[in-house]
Amino acid sequence: MLPSPRIQVIAVEGIPVIDGPSDLPEIILRALGRSGEKLVDGDVIVVAQKIVSKSEGRVVRQSDVQVSEHAQGIAKRNGFDPWQVQLALDESREVLRSERVFITETRNGIVCNFSGVDRSNAPRGSYILLPENPDASAEHIMRVVIERTGLSRLAVIVSDTQGRPWRVGSVNLAIGCAGINAFKYNRGKQDLYGRVLEHSTVCQIDELAAAAEHAMGQAGEGVPVVIVRGYPYSDGPEHGSNVPRPKSEDLFR
């Protein structure tokens, strides 16, 4: 039997607060340099969505939002923030539920609350939107970091905090990835009693995002970047955009 891997979750300290377009890979590398921590081949960098969005200019001031009558009606019926409702509508492909909760499908296919539009950790009087393409965001960070460090193997996950329909409480989930397959497959492996598994798909990027949350936190901890080291992963064609269930398999539609 092979020894179990030793997996480390390492907080990258010293990431400054950024509120506008920035060279995020360089910010990460500078923080690593100041801390004395060095990336090694096979590391997974988990980056919080908020800092990715800020670095890409995905911050909107409330004063720049024109609220429609439709958004006003949804907000008034439910006690929602009308500006947040309008931005969620603007960012959505489809509204799935607008009574008591506001669940949408974003243009990238992510099903979430208010299209991921949020005020937490946003500059005063502003809202933060999800990255336009989280997989492309992860790919950019990965490529630049590899180029500037000379590493041969690196993965990047963009994570966001979301709720779950069948369970209370929120968790860190992956919304984008690069350099790592979204899933791992246990089909063909044997269980403890020798039975061959026929169906077993694990969303490994969600698992890694959830592990990173323990070092990140979800409030004012100021740790938006975490390194997961020692996890045996493989690259592949799947991305964060492959994780949301298609409509034909979605029990809520």
Query: Using CA atoms, how far apart are residues 193 and 81, in angstroms rounded to an integer?
Result: 54
CA dist., res. 37 & res. 151, Å (int): 14
Q: What's residue 199's pLDDT?
A: 59
Place of tokens 């720049």: 64
Can you list the domains of the chain with their CATH numbers?
Answer: 8-57+131-241 (3.30.1330.100), 60-127 (3.90.1660.10)
- H/E stretch holding 167 reads strand 167-178
d(CA 223, CA 217): 7
List the pLDDT tens digit at each of the 253 positions of the chain.
Answer: 445 678 999 999 999 998 889 999 999 999 999 999 999 999 999 999 999 999 999 999 999 999 999 999 999 999 999 999 999 999 999 999 999 999 999 998 999 999 999 998 899 999 999 999 999 999 999 999 999 999 999 999 999 998 887 788 889 999 999 999 999 876 556 555 455 455 568 899 999 999 999 998 765 557 999 999 999 998 889 999 999 888 777 766 6
142: Cβ–Cβ under 8 A, 6 or more apart, which residues? 45, 154, 155, 156, 178, 179
User: What's the DSSP call for residue 196?
Assistant: B
Give the residue carrying structure tokens 């690069």: 178
Q: Under 8 Å CB-to-CB from 82, ≥6 apart: which residues?
A: 67, 71, 72, 75, 76
pLDDT tens string 105-148: 999 899 999 999 999 889 999 999 999 999 999 999 999 999 99
